[in-house]
A and B are shown apart, each in its own frame.
Chain A
């Protein structure tokens, strides 16, 4: 455990070093990145070695402010999440070396690195915290530091807006968290996590829901996802990658940890998580499909993946309450593995988006195109990430979903509610997979393939080597996990080692299946190579012509005739119309010689609209009406005092 604190100290030292070296831009970056990476490396080795050796839980605590203890505890679940926390940030930092290249923003970059280090350290503390106060402390530091990371580019109004919404969700969520903890404290009288299970059954559900509101908003559960989808596009790409890939997993961790600690008998919790997961997954991907802003799309896709993870967790929880060990084990393991996988390919995709925004000056899909030729490495790695995130073999996304499917299928039993939930989970997973495929074919097909739609896109060049190298590493990692999933599945299983319900589950039979999966993917790749060879043979010594795309008889095609993201998604979005309101503005044609007409569609987030319409506007209106109170007339001010006296005297 001390090793971990040492690594955190090193990470923080890297962050502080950035503040002191902000005048020497390159030196600052080198020192910070090297130090922080070293710290993360130590942490990674520590967590991996303990995780795989099934080491017993470790605890450590200090007294704080006389009445609290700062208690930390490491078990297999923490270790698993620590692996993610320590594995991804170094890559993001390496990526940032060239991505954060603006020397005029040296101070700001230094501050960014500082808070980056704080964020990593606080996330490590979140997953190791063992009592209320420690957890709340780490959680709040995490929220605050990530806020500063989000508003890096604060000159842009939209980014400030995003930062604001992020801030509100963070603090609002924290308040719900405080309430949940306080409710626990009311019943246990203790701050320690281990006493949670002793509270009355009927309170547990309430506690969980309160906590879920907090953790869900951090993770990005629909309809609490607004902060997440706002912050994703606003933050610099490597930050967005960390936030989406790692920090939102803290929400998942906390939901799961809360569930374990509460040890509630009610099946409602599992059902709630599952249903939330289904809604989040499906709506997340539909919105991803509907959005043309690449980073926003990726943020929505994170929402979708959180949905998948929650479906896994939900399956696991339902399995636990139904005493179905297979369902429980594989639901949870699938969720864990997907946490790991998603952190890899989502980082990859965000970094790709960052490279695109840097090189092509825009991330709007409808203005991109043809980048595969201009940015070959970014394009190829992005393609790999897209296949992975669509859950398609032979990349890593499939493996996590496979485990969840496996758990869900084994949940199909005689009990009605779990049966229906399992069916819904399976179908929604399938639908999510299909939609994700549609979504990412849109991104790759329209942004990277075809012809550039604007000059900016046409003039894009490949991103710097530190950026592309990181992306290559991540892409290869995704592929390796997909082809040789066994060690990584073992990692997820090891993460479940300390979960009481699934402890001691015999995984040998399943490992056989995993080997088969691996083998089948091998066969597939072999077949693919064979066919490629066959194709090569067929084309040997043949004339390969090239010409323009056939325009179906149209002789003067322009790049603007290409299908756009909006048109690609239109029909699919239309299918989900009630949940995906689309604002269409059409100027219409009038007069005999019509002027310029415009047609514009914009997809709005249903949650945002509802909040705006039913919460924020009435609230603001109400508050505005009450502003009359402070009208400036002293006579009435005195009347308030008199009134207060009279009212209080009535209680006498």
Chain B
């Protein structure tokens, strides 16, 4: 059981690092689809007791994260004429190193958390992955020019939160709490962002957020 989940977690970490170093928009979208599926699968291999409800939820999540949202973004990228470069504010190499640094910090924090509270050690790697994904998501949000990349960053951040929830919450209290929350978040965030993205494209002929810096003091 844990071997599979560890492998999935490792895959997640890999996808995170890949996404940080990715040059091309389309590649980034694909990586995110992959990450979405992997992350959604993880609880399957951690749960002691699976219910019908949770399995159903899992399927919905996979559908959303793995196919719907990436597909949506994919279409958006295809449809609009933008340069397929990522256009980072912070360079790829620096981003990669930042990713590694996040892993390091996460390991440190996770270790602190688990020793301080004598929690079961089995979830340490999950915790590390969660924090790294969260931090990297935020990092993408902060370090990329294009609006689409920011949506992807947000997606990644949500993945991190989802993992966090999985790592921390006992299912007894939170009947589908994590899944439900993340789903709603995604729905709200991505849907609206999608609409806005489309409008940005039609208004500005570009989805570069450099152009979205006119409102300031």
A residues sitting closer than 8 Å to B (CB atoms) are 627, 630-636, 638-639, 642
Residues of chain B within 8 A (CB-CB) of A630 are 216-217
Q: A639-B142, A642-B138 are in contact. List 7 more A-B contacts (CB 8 A).
A: A627-B217, A632-B216, A634-B150, A635-B141, A635-B143, A635-B144, A642-B142
Q: A636, B217: Cβ atoms under 8 Å?
A: no
Known: A638-B138, A642-B138. A632 touches B215 (CB 8 A): yes
Residues of chain B within 8 A (CB-CB) of A633 are 209, 213
The 7 closest A-B pairs by CB, nearest first: A632-B216, A632-B213, A630-B217, A635-B142, A638-B141, A639-B142, A633-B213
Q: B215, A635: Cβ atoms under 8 Å?
A: no
B residues sitting closer than 8 Å to A (CB atoms) are 89, 138, 141-145, 150, 209, 212-217
Name 9 A/B residue pairs within 8 A (Cβ), A-sorted.
A627-B217, A631-B213, A632-B212, A632-B214, A633-B209, A635-B141, A635-B209, A638-B138, A638-B142
Q: Is the interface of A mostly helix, strand, loop or mixed?
A: helix
Chain B minimum-CB-distance residue to A633: B213
Chain A minimum-CB-distance residue to B210: A633
Q: A634, B212: Cβ atoms under 8 Å?
A: yes
Complex CA distance for A230 and B64, rounded to whole angstroms: 67
Residues of chain B within 8 A (CB-CB) of A642 are 138, 142
Residues of chain A within 8 A (CB-CB) of B145 are 635
Complex CA distance for A635 and B209, rounded to whole angstroms: 9
Chain A minimum-CB-distance residue to B135: A642
Complex CA distance for A275 and B97, rounded to whole angstroms: 67
Residues of chain B within 8 A (CB-CB) of A627 are 217
Residues of chain A within 8 A (CB-CB) of B150 are 634-635
Residues of chain B within 8 A (CB-CB) of A636 are 142
Complex CA distance for A633 and B138, rounded to whole angstroms: 15
Complex CA distance for A630 and B215, rounded to whole angstroms: 9
Chain A nearest CB, measured from B176 CB (Å): 26
Complex CA distance for A634 and B143, rounded to whole angstroms: 10
Chain B minimum-CB-distance residue to A649: B109
Residues of chain A within 8 A (CB-CB) of B141 are 635, 638
Chain B nearest CB, measured from A399 CB (Å): 58
Which of B141, B142, B212, B216: most chain A CB closer than 10 A? B142
Complex CA distance for A631 and B209, rounded to whole angstroms: 13
Residues of chain A within 8 A (CB-CB) of B143 are 635
Residues of chain B within 8 A (CB-CB) of A638 are 138, 141-142
Complex CA distance for A2 and B216, rounded to whole angstroms: 57
Which of A634, A635, A636: most chain B CB closer than 10 A? A635
Contact of A631 among B89, B144, B212, B216 (CB under 8 A): B216
Complex CA distance for A634 and B138, rounded to whole angstroms: 12
Residues of chain B within 8 A (CB-CB) of A632 are 212-216
Chain A nearest CB, measured from B108 CB (Å): 13
Q: B217, A634: Cβ atoms under 8 Å?
A: no
Chain B nearest CB, measured from A634 CB (Å): 6
Complex CA distance for A627 and B216, rounded to whole angstroms: 9
Complex CA distance for A636 and B145, rounded to whole angstroms: 11
Complex CA distance for A634 and B210, rounded to whole angstroms: 9
Complex CA distance for A638 and B209, rounded to whole angstroms: 13
Residues of chain A within 8 A (CB-CB) of B215 are 632
Complex CA distance for A638 and B143, rounded to whole angstroms: 10
Complex CA distance for A632 and B217, rounded to whole angstroms: 8
Complex CA distance for A642 and B212, rounded to whole angstroms: 21
Chain B minimum-CB-distance residue to A629: B217
